[in-house]
Homo-oligomer: A and B are copies of this chain.
């Protein structure tokens, strides 16, 4: 089976919005895809007819096994291309997402397998997100939000949840990237902002909002 770009965009959006919720709301999909709720309903009916989702009117939507398989394929293509763009073409990590959005829709199986081989079967993309292998399996990651890291405990940045150019720009300015080792020196109760220390550089302050979107793991 082959899917249109729109169908793939919906499947991917359902996959991403699902998280650990029970199901995804029509309105949330509309917001994510910059479209209208009525359009989402139309497409959900189509995807249900193709047996890729479990959909009951007014009750939200979730992927079924087949849909999840498709979603993982799209995610795999997206993240492999991101890796290619960053690693081979020297795109900076805040530029890769947009181009990968287009490349991910190219469906040649052979292309993706050859690309994967060429890249050396990478396990993570430039944002720290795991890349599904050709069977849809991916490395488990323990993503601790920076907000929950105890004080004075060195940890390694291993992911960011939001990939908007604005946020990635902000991280770049603070010299925070995947692999950066940092620790939290102080938390301010008033606005929940926190003081961050990166080795050999002066401390600086980040907002709670930013901290929530940075994931770390303890140094091993």
How distant is the Cα of A88 from the Cα of B85 in the complex, in angstroms?
14
Known: A89-B118, A118-B88, A118-B89. Is A106-B99 also a contact (CB below 8 A)? yes
Q: Which of A51-59, A109-117, A141-149 is the contact stretch? A: A109-117
Number of interface residues of A (CB under 8 A): 18
A207 within 8 A of B: no
A95 within 8 A of B: yes
Nearest CB of chain B from residue A56's CB, rounded to whole Å: 35
A91 within 8 A of B: yes
A209 within 8 A of B: no
A102 within 8 A of B: yes
How distant is the Cα of A102 from the Cα of B102 in the complex, in angstroms?
11
Minimum CB distance partner of A95 in chain B: B110
A178 within 8 A of B: no
A103 within 8 A of B: yes
How distant is the Cα of A102 from the Cα of B90 in the complex, in angstroms?
23
Please report which residues of chain A, range 50-79, place their CB below 8 angstroms from some CB of chain B when the two chains form the complex.
none
Contact with B along A83-98 (1 / 0, CB 8 A): 0010011110001001
How distant is the Cα of A89 from the Cα of B118 in the complex, in angstroms?
6
> Which residues of B lie under 8 Å from residue A89 when comparing CB positions?
111, 114-115, 118
How distant is the Cα of A91 from the Cα of B108 in the complex, in angstroms?
12
Q: Can you give 17 contacting A-B residue pairs, CB < 8 Å?
A: A85-B111, A85-B114, A88-B118, A89-B111, A89-B115, A89-B118, A90-B114, A91-B110, A91-B114, A95-B110, A99-B106, A99-B110, A99-B111, A102-B106, A102-B107, A103-B103, A103-B106
Chain A residues close to B by CB (< 8 Å): 85, 88-91, 95, 98-99, 102-103, 106-108, 110-111, 114-115, 118
Task: List 14 additional A-B contacts (Cβ < 8 Å) besides A89-B111, A95-B110, A99-B110.
Answer: A85-B111, A85-B114, A88-B118, A89-B114, A89-B115, A89-B118, A90-B114, A91-B110, A98-B108, A99-B108, A102-B106, A102-B107, A102-B108, A103-B103
